[in-house]
């Protein structure tokens, strides 16, 4: 249990710049300058970006209505809206068709509607429209209203991709090279972005109707890569896609849709998919692959989530107490999973006892799901401004070294904004969470999305998307207190590089 009151409250409501000496320093702090790192921090406003004003089907209203024959209309309805449209068309043109046909189709239509409303009462999210569903399950807070739709750091280099309101994607690099803009006919309502690990160029984009894989050549100077650089992956019944996850080895891509009960495991290069179906839950909304690649979290819209092991692709069901799983993050060694539930101010921790490899038998790694932290109470930030913070946990992010945990708390109304609370974490010898502070934006800006830089040299770097369309980077400078347990190659590499003289390749020692 932790009260937000113990957090060190910033003295002013100015933008947080960085952490140094265990202190979060803001812009108004005396003697501090602005950005310490040379990463681009662009800003996008809603006015400059124009979303597509109306969906394609509504262009019908522009044209004059013309009476076709019944056959033509039926064929058109079948093509546009499937069985529902056909039945609807037959029922509506009762004077042209035989009476029994019209009555029959009306009965079938009523039966179908009743069945689907029953289905919808079991899974309420199915009654939402496609855009509403994306807005509901996107990791970006307030998705439909925001100028920024999604954000993703490249796992190995200093570049990131941003999806914008006008359905384009921009790619920024650290140096002042051109920023490519990606546009595609199918790229609508982008909900998630992720770069392929162990690859320099591939970016997966979850769109409303399909999955796009862009291949953006890093050496190219072009600012508008053609749509021929994009692979379109789609599967009937699998849209809108709200979450995607690459395996850490870069060989597989998993995509999920709240409408489809099966998640697709794509072999992207071969463009083939293996559906993995589990009916319970009514869909899959959020996916997260553990950093060591051995497990995959799949959250459903109901109060249920699953943890798949990725060797034989079996899963464990975890029925939640209340609410669906909203967000999750893995510890760097893949041994611990933090979860937040919808409507709760609680973070749950799921620890996995076995780390892969020692023996071949994959015993069930069931461990207790324990209540890690209750974020209780409100903290009044500044007595002058009369702002208080605290609320439902809606996003979690853990830095790649496992030393800082950022928690995005949702706000409610005026004078109660969303805020990012940062904790210091340590996993050995016992798991510890210590409050570090609040990350503040400029006046009036609320955080919408956050992600840690995957390989920041001097500590951790949190990138935040703000409600005013700005993307800012908050570095946390600290010296690593000791790495987490586990022997993943990256960590071994890190330990090697810290002491290069003692640990060399054998060939180096020979020569």
Partner 1 sequence: FDVMATKPCTKFSSIYFQVVIWRAVASIAWSVLLLPVTTAVFVLLSRFSLFHPIQWISVLIMLILIWKFTSRVILYALYDCLFISLFVFPLVVPSIPCSRMALLGTVLHPRQCVHSLVYCTMGMLVMWCASVTIGGRYSTLGTPCRQSESGEVVTCLNEYHLFLLLAGAFMGYSHSFLGVVQNMYYVSFQPIQQYKYPRFKGCLPMVLKCSVIQSLYSARNFAALYFFFGYVPKTWISSTLNLQIDSSLQPLDSLTGLLDFSLLYHLSISGAFLYLTWYLTVLLFRIYVTEAYSFPVQSTFTEDAEQCLPKVLAEKNTLVMKFLALQDLALLSQHSLSRRLEVFNLSQPGGHPHNWNAISGECLSLLSELTQRLVAHQDAVASNGRVKSQSASSDTRSASSSSSVLTAPFTPDVDSPFSSPAIRRLVGQQDPHSPWSGTVQSPHIMRRGPKLWSASTVSSSVAGEKGSSRFSVIPLHGLETPVNSCSCHTLNCSAQVKSFLAKRVLIMYLFNKLPEASSQALFADSQAHIWALQGLSHLVAASFSEDQFGVVQTTLPNILSCLVVLLEAVDRHFKLPHASSKPVRTLCSMGDSTYKTLRFALRAALKTAIYKITTTFGEHLNAVNISTEHRKRLQQFLEFKE
Give 170 or 455: the residue with its C-beta nearer to partner 1.
455
> How far, in Å, CA of 298 to CA of 275, rounded?
14
Give 59 or 360: the residue with its C-beta nearer to partner 1.
360
Q: Interaction with partner 1 in 161-220: which residues (CB under 8 A)? A: 198-201, 218-219
Give 73 or 295: the residue with its C-beta nearer to partner 1.
295
Contact between 504 and partner 1 per CB under 8 A: yes
Q: Which of 62, 489, 499, 502 binds partner 1 (CB under 8 A)?
A: 489
Fill in the per-residue mask, 398 to 437: x = in contact with partner 1 (CB under 8 A), - = not in contact. Answer: ----------------------------------------
Q: Minimum distance from CB of 409 to partner 1 (Å)?
A: 35
For residue 387, the cross-strand partners are 382
Give 59 or 277: the residue with its C-beta nearer to partner 1.
277
Contact between 270 and partner 1 per CB under 8 A: yes
Give 312 or 383: the residue with its C-beta nearer to partner 1.
312
Give 138 or 239: the residue with its C-beta nearer to partner 1.
239
Cα separations in angstroms, 23 against 17, 36, 409, 421, 435: 11, 15, 21, 13, 11
Contact between 360 and partner 1 per CB under 8 A: yes
Stretch near partner 1 under the rule CB under 8 A, chosen from 26-34, 245-253, 376-384, 458-466: 245-253
Look up residue 187 and give its DSSP letter. -
- Do 375 and 409 touch, CB atoms closer than 8 A? yes
Q: What is the dihedral of CA 141, 239, 454, 160, to 10 degrees?
A: -80
Instruction: Look at residue 370 and give its three-state secondary structure.
Output: strand
Q: Minimum distance from CB of 194 to partner 1 (Å)?
A: 16
Give 104 or 200: the residue with its C-beta nearer to partner 1.
200
Q: Which of 268, 338, 389, 462 binds partner 1 (CB under 8 A)?
A: 268
Contact between 107 and partner 1 per CB under 8 A: no
> How far, in Å, CA of 252 to CA of 215, rounded?
16
Under 8 Å CB-to-CB from 457, ≥6 apart: which residues?
A: none
Under 8 Å CB-to-CB from 379, ≥6 apart: which residues?
A: 3, 4, 5, 7, 9, 388, 389, 390
- Bond preceding residue 57 cis, omega within 30 of 0: no
Contact between 250 and partner 1 per CB under 8 A: yes
Fill in the per-residue mask, 306 to 335: x = in contact with partner 1 (CB under 8 A), - = not in contact. Answer: ----xxxxx---------------------
> How far, in Å, CA of 470 to CA of 449, rounded?
11
37-66 residues labelled b (16+ CB within 10 A) or e (exposed): eebeeeebeeeebeeeeeeeeeeeeeeeee
> How far, in Å, CA of 23 to CA of 5, rounded?
17
> Residues 234-238: contacts with CB within 8 Å, 24+ apart?
234/209, 234/210, 235/264, 235/273, 235/275, 238/262, 238/264
- Beta-carbon count within 10 A of 295 CB: 24
> How far, in Å, CA of 193 to CA of 11, rounded?
36
Q: Minimum distance from CB of 355 to partner 1 (Å)?
A: 9
Please work out the total of residues on this chain that contact partner 1, with binding judged by CB under 8 A. Answer: 46
* N residues, the chain: 511
Stretch near partner 1 under the rule CB under 8 A, chosen from 128-136, 407-415, 439-447, 488-496: 488-496
Contact between 275 and partner 1 per CB under 8 A: yes
Give 22 or 314: the residue with its C-beta nearer to partner 1.
314
Fill in the per-residue mask, 53 to 82: x = in contact with partner 1 (CB under 8 A), - = not in contact. Answer: ------------------------------
Interacting residue ranges for partner 1, rule: CB under 8 A? 154, 156-157, 198-201, 218-219, 249-252, 265, 267-272, 274-277, 293, 310-314, 356-360, 487, 489, 492-493, 497, 504-508, 511
């Amino acid at each position: 249990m932790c009260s937000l009151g113990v957090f060190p409250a910033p003295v002013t409501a100015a933008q947080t710049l960085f952490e140094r000496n265990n202190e979060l320093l803001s812009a108004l702090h005396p003697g501090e300058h602005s950005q310490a790192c040379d990463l681009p921090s662009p800003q996008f406003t809603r006015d400059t970006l124009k979303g597509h004003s109306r969906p394609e089907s509504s262009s019908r209203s522009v044209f004059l209505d013309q009476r076709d024959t019944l056959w033509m209309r039926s064929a058109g309805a079948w093509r546009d809206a499937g069985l529902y449209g056909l039945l609807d068309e037959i029922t509506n043109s009762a004077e042209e068709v035989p009476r029994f046909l019209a009555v029959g189709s009306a009965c079938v239509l009523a039966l179908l509607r009743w069945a689907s409303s029953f289905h919808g009462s079991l899974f309420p999210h199915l009654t939402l429209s496609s855009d509403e569903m994306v807005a509901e399950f996107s990791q970006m807070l307030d998705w439909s209203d925001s100028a920024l739709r999604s954000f993703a750091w490249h796992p190995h280099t200093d570049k990131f991709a941003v999806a914008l309101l006008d359905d384009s994607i921009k790619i920024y690099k650290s140096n002042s090279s051109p920023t490519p803009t990606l546009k595609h006919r199918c790229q609508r309502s982008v909900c998630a972005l992720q770069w392929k690990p162990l690859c320099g160029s591939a970016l997966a984009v979850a769109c409303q109707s399909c999955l796009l894989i862009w291949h953006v050549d890093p050496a190219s100077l072009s600012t508008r890569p053609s749509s021929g650089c994009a692979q379109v992956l789609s599967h009937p019944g699998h849209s809108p896609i709200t979450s995607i996850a690459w395996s850490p080895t870069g060989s597989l891509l998993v995509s999920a849709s709240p409408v489809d009960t099966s998640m697709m495991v794509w072999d992207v290069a071969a463009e083939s998919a293996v559906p993995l179906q589990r009916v319970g839950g009514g869909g899959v909304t959020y996916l997260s692959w553990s950093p060591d690649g051995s497990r995959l979290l799949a959250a459903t819209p109901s109060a249920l989530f699953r943890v798949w092991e990725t060797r034989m692709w079996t899963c464990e069901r975890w029925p939640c107490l209340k609410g669906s799983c909203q967000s999750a993050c893995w510890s760097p060694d893949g041994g611990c999973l933090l979860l937040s539930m919808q409507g709760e101010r609680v973070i749950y921790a799921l620890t996995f006892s076995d780390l892969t490899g020692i023996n071949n038998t994959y015993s069930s790694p069931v461990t207790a799901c324990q209540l890690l932290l209750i974020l209780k109470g409100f903290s009044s930030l500044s007595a002058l401004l009369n702002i208080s913070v605290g609320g439902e946990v809606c996003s979690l992010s853990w830095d790649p070294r496992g030393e800082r945990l950022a928690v995005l708390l949702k706000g409610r109304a005026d004078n109660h904004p969303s805020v990012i609370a940062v904790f210091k974490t340590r996993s050995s010898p016992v798991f510890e969470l210590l409050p570090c502070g609040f990350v503040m934006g400029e006046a009036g800006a609320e955080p919408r999305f956050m992600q840690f830089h995957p390989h920041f040299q001097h500590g951790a770097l949190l990138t935040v998307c703000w409600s005013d369309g700005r993307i800012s980077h908050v570095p946390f400078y600290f010296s690593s207190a000791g790495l987490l347990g586990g022997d993943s190659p990256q960590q071994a590499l890190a330990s090697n590089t810290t002491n290069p003289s003692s640990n060399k390749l054998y060939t180096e020692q020979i020569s």
